[in-house]
Amino acid sequence: MATTRHVGPHGARTLTSPVGLRNVHAMLRRPLEHLQHLQEAHGDVVEMPMLSQTWLLLVHPADVESLLVAHHPSLVRDEFAVYLRRVLGQGLLTSDGDLWKRQRRLSSTAFTPKRIRGYAGTMSAVTDRGLARIEAGRVSRLHEEMSRLTMEVVAEVLFGAGITDEDVQTVSRSLGVLNSLLTNSLEAAVRLPAWIPTPNHRRAANALADVDRLVRRIIDDRRRSAVQRDDLLSHLLNAVDEDGSRMSDTQLRDETLTLFLAGHETTSLALTHALYLLGKHPDVLRRVHAEVDDVLRDGTGAPRLPTEEDVPRLSLVERVIKEGMRLFPPAWIVGREVAKDIEIAGRRIEKGTQAMVSQWLTHRDPRWWPRPEAFDPDRFLPEIAKTRPRFAYFPFGGGPRVCIGNHFAMMEAILMLSLVVSRFEVELIPFSTLRHAPSITLQPADGGVRVRFVPRTPRRATTHVPTVGPEAITSRT
């Protein structure tokens, strides 16, 4: 496919405003619409001032790849990631340089393909228990239910037997408070110093203290215990670097919080949007039901929990999740600060520039995605996917800093979604609409759409369900 660049009526340019207050206001109130407007008006490369600082928006897949891959050594974390250190410390999401390289090496021992597959049984079992607690027929918020389920799964995989139901509630409550501070508050918008005692800062300090006590207690217990466990925390504790050193308690705390926040959020949003889209497209849902009913059967024909061996056979479920993350990417924007001058798309980008790429924009670009607002999982059939530029789709980022848990998250989402649709019909309540309040992630507003979980009895598919090609689905989200 050709990679023609789009240049708006004025080409790439600086949007005029002395300190960029118009851009700041728009990015706080309606960031998705504002970014879309910028691309349509000014093309694939847009400069915009915000609070007297230059921000550069890159949209074309080739420029995304150039920033995240080719120029990775010339970049550091952007200013918002620095702000995140107030909560996450120096974890993989916020660290740079030699510290990041060391933490990446040590953390990678917990995310080898073999170990990721080994978490599948826990993921399915915890999801099964969580689904049993859903009150059938009651109207609830879809994202709230998926957030609860995913938090339980991540907590069990991360801590194993070291965490109680009360601990999970503490983490969930604390992360909710911290997430609100980081993304939906005046304090975050103007980077207000943490020592100023605003109500939001006080609530965040208490929440952070609660989760710190919990995490450090579990780490202390684990260090004193002689029992060998197979959870993520154990692999992080036992990871040994090239010089024989291990993570300190502070580093373990930072990586644990990062895994909780990033791992839990990504999967809960992927599930929320996938179920919403299936509820809007019963034709695709019928095909998904046929697949899960056929795959999730034991030798007697009775329903069973999915395993890691089932994941390749749940190919439509996987495509539904991928298409959901195309339309509604959990990570909707990625930022970097240019540490030394670079060149992208034939233009010089100076040191200190805040560069950003947006999955929301690139994933909906009609050059790579015909009928971009239509829900069509078969866009991800192998023979179709290979025709697109590599970075037309990058839900987990890219380059050396690609999300370390991307394969973990995909397996988790496939297993969890297959169980949810196997057990329940998720009925959308009429007139309940999906709106977003973008923050660190693409959060639904007001807890997400309202749904009703209606129990269903899995059945074996008795007839062949044909694959629906991309041209056959014309409905819109």
Strand partners, 4: none
pLDDT in the model for residue 273: 97
pLDDT in the model for residue 145: 93
Nearest to 22 by CA among 4, 49, 1: 49
Nearest to 252 by CA among 112, 330, 336, 158: 158
Q: In CATH, which superfamily holds the domain spanning 97-327+397-472?
A: Cytochrome P450 (1.10.630.10)
pLDDT in the model for residue 201: 86
pLDDT in the model for residue 449: 94
Span 281-301, average pLDDT: 94
pLDDT in the model for residue 463: 46
Residue 175 structure tokens: 């992360």
- Percentage above 70 pLDDT, the chain: 90
What span, in angstroms and rounded, lies between the C-alpha atoms of 213 and 249? 12
- pLDDT range class, residue 4, cuts 50, 70, 90: low
In the predicted structure, residue 8 carries a pLDDT above the cut 80? no
Measure the CA angle with vertex 269, ends 113 and 27; round to 5°.
120
What span, in angstroms and rounded, lies between the C-alpha atoms of 92 and 112? 17
Out of 311-315, 368-372, 432-436, pick the least confident.
Answer: 432-436
pLDDT in the model for residue 184: 64
Which alpha helices (DSSP H) does 45-119 contain, by range? Answer: 61-65, 79-88, 97-108, 113-118
Check residue 58 and give left, alpha or beta (phi > 0: left; psi -120 to 50: alpha). beta
What span, in angstroms and rounded, lies between the C-alpha atoms of 425 and 433? 18
Q: Are 45 and 57 in contact (CB under 8 A)?
A: yes
Q: Are 82 and 381 in contact (CB under 8 A)?
A: no
Condensed to tens digits (0 to 9), the pLDDT of residues 239-264 reads 999 999 999 999 999 998 888 877 78
Condensed to tens digits (0 to 9), the pLDDT of residues 33-83 reads 999 999 998 899 998 877 767 889 999 999 999 999 999 999 998 877 877
Mean pLDDT of the chain: 87
Residue 14 structure tokens: 């600086």
pLDDT in the model for residue 470: 40
Span 345-373, average pLDDT: 95
pLDDT in the model for residue 174: 84
pLDDT in the model for residue 20: 64
Domain limits of the chain? Answer: 97-327+397-472
What span, in angstroms and rounded, lies between the C-alpha atoms of 180 and 383? 42
DSSP H/E element including 41: helix 31-42
What span, in angstroms and rounded, lies between the C-alpha atoms of 171 and 146? 15
Q: Write out the DSSP string of 323-362.
A: HHHHHS-SS--EEEEESS-EEETTEEE-TT-EEEE-HHHH
pLDDT in the model for residue 79: 78
- Percentage above 90 pLDDT, the chain: 58
pTM comes to 0.90
pLDDT in the model for residue 26: 77
Q: Are 94 and 82 in contact (CB under 8 A)?
A: yes
pLDDT in the model for residue 282: 96
What span, in angstroms and rounded, lies between the C-alpha atoms of 231 and 212? 19
The DSSP call for residue 70 is I
User: Position 370: which residue type?
Assistant: P
In the predicted structure, residue 448 carries a pLDDT above the cut 60? yes
